Chain A
Amino acid sequence: MPEKPAIRIDRVSKTFRLGDGRELTALTDIDLSIASGEFVALLGPSGCGKSTILRLVAALEAATAGRVTIEGRAPAELCQSHRLGVAFQDHALLPWLDIEANVALPFHLAGRPVDGARVRDLIALVGLTGFEKARPRQLSGGMRQRASIARALVLEPEVLLLDEPFGALDAVTRRQMNVELQRIWSRHRITTLLVTHSVDEALFLADRVVVMSGRPGRVILDLPAPFARPRAPSVMREPAFHDLVDQLTEALEPEGAHA
């Protein structure tokens, strides 16, 4: 990696204390660097700790051992200076605000005046023009996720964190959202960490796909996705894409299932 990493996950382990006093090791000795402007996808079965990594980077959890830094500083500092953008599987739109107010929320939280033009631009970018005054419950699942992505981008964050943002959508909508996100991201090129369990989604969106195995979570494969940007959906039909899908799918299979 040529430049200094934007996100550095330095030999991080994470242990959770369970209610009955037992301990659960979610992550052991994770070492991962993400370059500035790089899109990295974390791929793995559910329960492998990939979301825990994202939550460590978002300062929502603290590491048991090791260190997570963003541009050399603690992630919490980035939260305090309002330079992180995030979208979860659960859209987390506030039900009592309309779409425009939801997208503008980060301005309020940062104590900055709302830039109405920026809010409108982002709503247009995610294709929700005309729905500014709609309530979240009036929109489809895909539209809510679009709003949640617009909200993540509205403050021009330095790091974008996406935790299964399309996990709750049907396959067709999900693919469509991937195409949209790819288009939006190619325009902004923000350092991005995406957590997903979909091989296609990871390969189509990311510059690099990191595969994790479960319990305790560790990195088992780190593959570049060398497709030129912006990417058209036709990329997914190329033989090279299929080869990588096969490699990643095999890596995801549980040990001992190969024979």
Chain B
Amino acid sequence: MSSAALASVSHVVRRYWAVALVVAGWQIWVSAAGLSSIVLPGPLAVLKDFAGDPLSYAEPAGRTFAVALAGLLLGFALGGGLAVLSWSSRILNGLLTPLGLIFTSIPVVTLIPIIARMLGYDVRTVIAIVALICFFPAFVYVGAGLRALPPGSDDLFRVFGGSRRQRFLRLVLPSSIPNLMLAFRLTAPEAVLAAVVAEFLMGTDGLGYMFRKAAGEFDTERALATSLIATITSVACFGLALAAERRVLRRWT
């Protein structure tokens, strides 16, 4: 084996030994205890189920991803928009700041049943729930970003006689971009998880529904494989958001 390959193997081992240990422990425990696959299948059985029919997971995963993305964008548009409004008016800012704080300090997930009841069991409801979950981080982070100007730049714009509009377009809005991207990275995986939970509760569509159906039919292998796909989707969304953030920050700072 070449030294480069050896280095990359040791790189992977250094990062994933703990995850591998947990998965191996799971398999050994299942085999040793002789658990039935309805109670708890081992990771190999789960993988085998997935490998047997990978395409059947693709469609629900795609739906969950699309719904999460739609909700994420909607939540960011509303949250970011309200942050801008609240920046432009001191009174509105004073009114909204404590509300924003209150809603970030309560478990918003518990509102899912209320929204489900209000809007009906529908894919639009899932989007609304994801949007609600993403709304508050977007509002709080973008709001903070609109006030985090580069040092001295505010004085500079005043001395150079920039108008309020120019100050907003050329200074305040660009300053909020790094915070916007940070909020995006933090909420992207949460959006997928929220979508899965909402789908599970309402039984509409996507990975959450697939999981619920499999669990209901005691098809534990399929249920766990669905979880695996949901985890991968969530991690992939985090990775995408992280890559987008790095790209934007390279351009922005």
Q: Which residues of A approach B to under 8 Å, CB–CB?
A: 55, 58-60, 79-82, 84, 86, 88, 90-96, 105-106, 108-111, 137, 155, 161
Contact = CB atoms under 8 A, between A and B. Distances in A.
Interface residues of B, number: 21
B170 A82 contact: no
27 contacts: A60-B159, A79-B158, A82-B160, A84-B159, A84-B160, A86-B159, A86-B160, A88-B152, A90-B151, A91-B152, A92-B152, A92-B155, A94-B150, A94-B170, A94-B174, A95-B150, A95-B253, A96-B253, A105-B170, A106-B160, A109-B157, A109-B160, A109-B163, A110-B161, A111-B163, A137-B253, A155-B160
A109 B161 contact: yes
Contacts of B159: 58-60, 79, 84, 86, 161
B163 to A, nearest CB: 8
A93 B166 CA distance: 16
Contacts of B153: 92, 94
Given A109-B166, A109-B170, A96 B252 contact: yes
A128 B174 CA distance: 25
B177 interface: yes
Given A95-B253, A96-B251, A137-B253, A109 B152 contact: no
B161 A80 contact: yes
A61 to B, nearest CB: 10
B171 A90 contact: no
A88 B160 CA distance: 13
Contacts of A108: 166, 170
Interface in B133-170: 150-153, 155-163, 166, 170
A184 to B, nearest CB: 19
B157 to A, nearest CB: 7
B166 A88 contact: no
Contacts of B151: 90, 92
Most B C-beta atoms less than 10 A away, residue of A60, A96, A106, A110: A96
Contacts of B174: 94, 96
